[in-house]
Amino acid sequence: MIKNDVETVILGNKVVYKRYFDVSVDLLFEVWSSRKHLEEWWGPDGFTVTTNSLDFSDGGIWDFVMHGPDGRDYKNRIQFLKIERPRSIFYKHLGNGEGEKDVDFESKILFEETGEGVNLTMEQIFPNQEELERVNRKYGAIEGGKQHVGNLVKYLSSLK
């Protein structure tokens, strides 16, 4: 069964997003791990991305800027903690790379082959429920996560 929407569940300090993709696991993993793809879809609606550097390896850093629809630039750094190609990506958000860490969470991206497609699970794990609630109030994190996966859907559709 193909689901058109992103299934979202909140479990204490964790937000879980799930969606089925009618593409190969190799393609889905590639769009999560390649600079040329990431810059085309990453982030909530209205954002664009410029990559300063990307080391997609265990311990590697992705240093990038998200350009918001409000005209502001948001510096970001992600550290890849563990990558199992093409099954999972585990990373930690490091803040802006300049010592400011207003958002503290880890993400697990799981790719599960099923039939001819892939079930994608994206988990955002916060230190505690209060931090999740704070980040959601300040940044709209849960809706942003839904839009993030939705932008992935749109991008993959453009590749077909």
> Does the structure show a pLDDT above 70 at 54?
yes
> What whole-number distance in Å separates Cα of residue 83 and Cα of residue 68?
28
2 occurs within a structural domain: no
Whether 28 and 120 have beta carbons less than 8 Å apart is answered as: yes
Query: How high is the pLDDT of residue 100?
Result: 60
Q: What is the distance between the alpha carbons of residues 90 and 71, in angstroms, rounded to a whole number?
A: 30
Residue 131 placed within a domain: yes
Tokens of 133: 């609630």
Indicate if the pLDDT at residue 108 is higher than 50. yes
Average pLDDT, the chain: 93
> Would 152 be classed as within a structural domain?
yes
Range(s) of the domain holding residue 118: 7-159
* CATH code (residue 142): 3.30.530.20
- Percent of the chain past pLDDT 90, that is, above it, reads 85
Count of CB atoms situated within 10 Å of the CB of 95: 16
Domain count, the chain: 1
H-only helix segments in the chain: 25-33, 35-41, 129-139, 141-159
Question: Position 72: which residue type?
Answer: R
